[in-house]
Amino acid sequence: MSEILSDEARHLLLEPLFKTGWALAEGRDALVKTYEFENFVEAFGWMTRAAMWAEKWDHHPDWHNVYKTVKVELWSHDLGGLSARDAKLARKMDSLL
């Protein structure tokens, strides 16, 4: 079972993500990032690859796609904040570029 990130784990897991464009959401304990692709097909292809991992890990993002832009928000709904699962999925999403 996952748990909300401790201050120490938060620093260890989130600091590297901030360097790749992730940020904390305003007003809630969540990670956000906007990805921009060459076109819709590239954006949708990336979403499909990310969706396969999200399903495999049973941890699904909140995301929104318009043409070549995908806005992602990650947080552990069952915990009401950030867990190690969010950092893991964020790293995987970045690796799929």
- Rounded Cα distance between 86 and 64, Å, is 17
- 34-85, pLDDT tens digit by residue? 999 999 999 999 999 999 999 999 999 999 999 999 999 999 999 999 999 9
Q: What is the pLDDT of residue 2?
A: 82
Q: What is the pLDDT of residue 63?
A: 98
Angle ∠(10,81,36) on CA atoms, nearest 5:
80
pTM of the model: 0.95
Contacts of 4 (CB under 8 A, 6+ apart): 29, 76, 79, 80, 81, 82, 83
- Has residue 1 got a pLDDT over 80? no
Tallying the residues shown for the chain, one arrives at 97
Write down all domains in the chain, each with its CATH number in brackets.
Answer: 7-95 (3.30.1360.20)
- Rounded Cα distance between 93 and 17, Å, is 11
Decide: 17 and 90 in contact? Cβ < 8 Å: yes
Contacts of 54 (CB under 8 A, 6+ apart): 60, 61, 89
Return the structure tokens found at 66: 């318009």
